[in-house]
Amino acid sequence: MSEAVHFERVAIIGTGLLGGSLGLALRARNLAREVVAVVRRADAQREVVALGIAQRAELELSAGVRGADLVVLASPVHAMPSLVAHAAPHLSAGAIVTDVGSVKGVLAEALPPLLPAGGCYVGSHPMAGSHHTGYAHARADLFENAACIVTPARPANPAAEERVLWLWRALGARVLRRSATRHDEEVAWVSHAPHAIAFAFAASLADAPESARELAGPGFRDFTRIAASDPAMWADILVSNKLALAAPLLSAAERAAALARAIESGDAGAVTKLLSAARDELASGESLARSGGANPEIQAAKSAAPKE
């Protein structure tokens, strides 16, 4: 194996925005001798090869994962256990399974028992993407400068874990290590809750005057942009992380209620205090809020494979 090539064969299950970008990035950097895509439709089978995402695309899961030393799940989170269960009999001894999903706790519990002896699961979550979906929007540079969280190998396998860490660093990501539980808690605050709140506000526009949107400016567009993301994908993410989401949603609701009370009472001092606290809190964490792409949330569900 040459120094640049780190994996013999990488199988990517799902080639939407993330899976497609991963294939392009692996091939652009010569990190795998062969990239194989697993897709659902014959036209996608042709297109992902034509676009350079993979050297080969398979419709059958068994054919796609056979001989792979790394298997990457780029499907909706809820579909991953079933995919692994069906792929397991065809995995090579010692194969590493990782993913690009937005939730880790449920996967860390569900996936390892499904793997054959010698296999292991190492969770990955690159915080990169956009509200655009599908492999037509895939980019080889999507992961550059993006945070990527990697969770411990299950069962414990330091060598496999190091290979996954190496992969994301080689793709230009800023790699962070977290337990699966801590990952879900933190991402609930910085990604999942903001999306849920943006969706809720966008839904509330049904009560706005019909002509109000004629006045919308950059602030409105900045706040509501992520609510243009795929609803089915985000339903999958939010429900999968329901336990960790309770705290940030409750906290935001309490502060929104306090702000509403201060505004209703005409207490400008209290309003200023609340707004200043919000601005100061945001500024204190600004240096940590780096991410890749226009949307700092990985599109790891329907956007991973929406048109296969």
Considering the entire predicted model, what is its pTM?
0.86
Positive or negative, the CA dihedral 196, 199, 201, 204 is: negative
Cβ-contact 126, 146 below 8 angstroms? yes
Can you tell me the distance from the alpha carbon of 37 to that of 14, in angstroms, rounded to the nearest whole number?
7
pLDDT at 287: 44
Higher pLDDT, 88 or 233: 88
> Using one digit for the tens of pLDDT, what is the confidence trace for 95-143?
999 999 999 999 999 999 999 999 999 999 999 876 667 888 889 999 9
> Using one digit for the tens of pLDDT, what is the confidence trace for 169-182?
999 999 999 999 99
User: Both tokens of residue 248?
Assistant: 């940030």
Collapsing DSSP to helix, strand or coil, 102 comes out as: coil
pLDDT at 286: 66
Which residues have a Cβ under 8 Å from the Cβ of 215 and sit 6 or more positions away?
none
Give the position of tokens 């001894």: 93
Collapsing DSSP to helix, strand or coil, 41 comes out as: coil
pLDDT at 306: 34
The alpha carbons of the chain give a radius of gyration, in whole angstroms, of 21
Domain ranges of the chain: 7-179+297-304, 183-288
Q: Where are the alpha helices (DSSP H) in 29-100?
A: 42-50, 61-65, 80-87
Query: Could you give the percent of the chain with pLDDT greater than 70?
Result: 90
Architecture of domain 7-179+297-304 in CATH? 3-Layer(aba) Sandwich (3.40)
**Per the CATH hierarchy, to which homologous superfamily does domain 183-288 belong?**
6-phosphogluconate dehydrogenase C-terminal like domain (1.10.3660.10)
pLDDT band at 295 (very low <50, low <70, confident <90, very high): very low
pLDDT band at 185 (very low <50, low <70, confident <90, very high): very high
Higher pLDDT, 70 or 290: 70
> Using one digit for the tens of pLDDT, what is the confidence trace for 192-221?
999 999 999 999 999 999 999 999 999 999
* pLDDT reading at 296 higher than 90: no
pLDDT at 107: 97
pLDDT at 300: 38
Query: Rounded mean pLDDT of 23-37?
Result: 97
pLDDT at 284: 83
pLDDT band at 237 (very low <50, low <70, confident <90, very high): very high
186-190, 261-265, 291-295: least confident range: 291-295
155: cis peptide before it, omega within 30°? yes
Q: What is the mean pLDDT of the chain?
A: 90
